Homo-oligomer: A and B are copies of this chain.
Amino acid sequence: MRPVSLHTGAWRFPGAYPDANFNFAHLKRFAQTLERGRFDAFFMADHLAVLNMPVNALKRSQTVSSFEPFTMLSALAAVTERIGLVGTASTTFDEPYHVARRFASLDHISGGRAGWNLVTTSNPDAALNFGLDEHVEHGERYRRGREFYDVVTGLWDSWADDAFVRDVESGLYVDPEKMHVLGHKGEHFSVRGPLNVPRPVQGWPVVVQAGSSEAGRQVAAETADAVFTAQSTLEAGKRFYADVKGRLDTLGRPREHLVILPATFVVVGDSLDEAREKRALLDTFVHYDSGIASLSIALGHDVSRFDPDGPLPEIPETNDSKSARQRVIDWAQAEKLTIRQLAQRIGGVSGLEMVGTPTMIADQMEQWLVEEGSDGFIVVFPYLPAGLDDFVDKVVPELQRRGIFRREYEGATLREHLGLPRPGNRFFGAERLR
Interface residues of A (CB under 8 A from B): 11-12, 18-19, 22, 24, 28, 47-50, 55, 58-62, 64-68, 70-79, 93-95, 97-98, 101-102, 104-106, 108-109, 125, 128-133, 164, 166, 168, 171-176, 179, 189-198, 285, 287
Contacts and interface: CB of A to CB of B under 8 A. Distances in A.
Contacts of A65: 164, 174, 195-198
Q: For the complex, would chain A's binding face be called helix, strand, loop or mixed by DSSP majority?
A: loop
Contacts of A173: 11, 18, 59-62, 64
A18 B108 contact: no
Contact of A197 (B67, B171, B189): B67
A109 B108 CA distance: 21
Contacts of A48: 97, 196
Sort A-B residue pairs by CB-CB distance and give the 10 closest, nearest first. Answer: A74-B74, A128-B192, A71-B105, A18-B166, A78-B78, A68-B105, A75-B78, A97-B129, A67-B105, A71-B74
A172 B59 contact: yes
Q: Which has the most chain B C-beta neighbours within 10 Å: A60, A105, A168, A195? A: A105
A109 B196 contact: no
Max chain B CB contacts within 10 Å: which of A55, A72, A132?
A72
B172 A131 contact: no
Contacts of A132: 190
- Determine which residue in A75, A189, A194 has the highest number of CB atoms from chain B within 10 A of its CB, and name it: A75
A164 B132 CA distance: 29
Contacts of A109: 24, 67, 71-72, 75
A77 B75 CA distance: 6
Contact of A108 (B24, B174, B190): B24
B130 A59 contact: no
8 contacts: A11-B168, A18-B166, A22-B198, A24-B78, A67-B105, A75-B78, A95-B130, A97-B130
A32 to B, nearest CB: 12
A195 B68 CA distance: 11
Contacts of A166: 11, 18-19
A102 B70 contact: yes
A187 to B, nearest CB: 12
B131 A191 contact: yes
A116 to B, nearest CB: 13
B168 A18 contact: yes
A19 B179 CA distance: 18
A168 B105 contact: no
A18 B171 CA distance: 10
A11 B166 CA distance: 8
A73 B171 CA distance: 29
Given A24-B109, A65-B197, A176-B58, A102 B287 contact: no
Contacts of A66: 196-197
A196 B75 contact: no
Given A105-B67, A166-B11, A192 B125 contact: yes
Contact of A59 (B24, B176, B191, B198): B176
